[in-house]
Amino acid sequence: MVELSPIHQEATPASFVLGRKLDSIPFSAYHVSIIAVLALVGFIEGYDLVMTGSLLVLAKGPLQLTGSDIRWLAVGPTFMLCIGGFAASAVSDHWSRKTIMMIGVIATTFFTLLIPLVQTAEQLIVVRLLTGLGAGSAVSAAFPIAAELMPAQHRRTYGAIYEMALAASFTVVPFIAGLLAGNEYAFRYLALPGGLSVTVVPVLIYFVLPESPRWHLRKGRPQVAVDIVNRIVARSGNRVPSLRLQELGAYHEAAREQLPPYWALFARGQLRWTTVGVMSGVCAGTAYFLISVLLPKALNDQGAAVEASLALTSIVYAASFFGKGFTGFLMEVIGRRWTIFYALAGSLPGLGLMLFAHRAGDLANVMMVGEG
Per-residue pLDDT of 290-316, as tens digits, reads: 788 888 887 777 777 788 888 888 888
pLDDT band of residue 137 (cuts 50, 70, 90) is: confident
pLDDT band of residue 233 (cuts 50, 70, 90) is: very high
Q: Does the pLDDT at position 214 exceed 90?
A: no
Helices H / strands E in the chain, number of each: 14, 0
pLDDT band of residue 248 (cuts 50, 70, 90) is: confident
Q: What does DSSP assign to residue 31? A: H
Pick the CATH number of 26-208+260-266 from 1.20.1440.230, 1.20.1260.10, 1.10.110.30, 1.20.1250.20: 1.20.1250.20
Q: What is the pLDDT of residues 51-87, one digit of tens each?
A: 998 999 999 989 999 999 999 999 999 899 989 988 8
Distance between CA 211 and CA 258 in Å, rounded?
A: 19
Domain ranges of the chain: 26-208+260-266
**Percentage of the chain modeled with pLDDT above 90:** 41
C-alpha gyration radius of the chain:
23
Which residues touch 184 (CB under 8 Å, ≥6 apart)?
61, 62
CA distances from 63 to 128, 143, 172, 185, 233 (A): 14, 37, 24, 10, 53
The answer to whether the beta carbons of residues 15 and 134 sit under 8 Å apart is: no
Which of 99, 93, 104 lies closest to 215 in space, CA to CA? Answer: 93
Distance between CA 109 and CA 104 in Å, rounded?
A: 9
Least confident of 173-177, 215-219, 346-350: 346-350
Angle (deg, nearest 10), helices 29-58 and 155-180: 30
Decide: pTM greater than 0.85. Answer: no
Q: What is the pLDDT of residues 87-132, one digit of tens each?
A: 888 887 788 889 999 999 999 999 999 999 999 999 999 999 999 9
Q: What is the pLDDT of residues 170-206, one digit of tens each?
A: 999 999 999 999 898 999 999 999 999 999 999 999 9
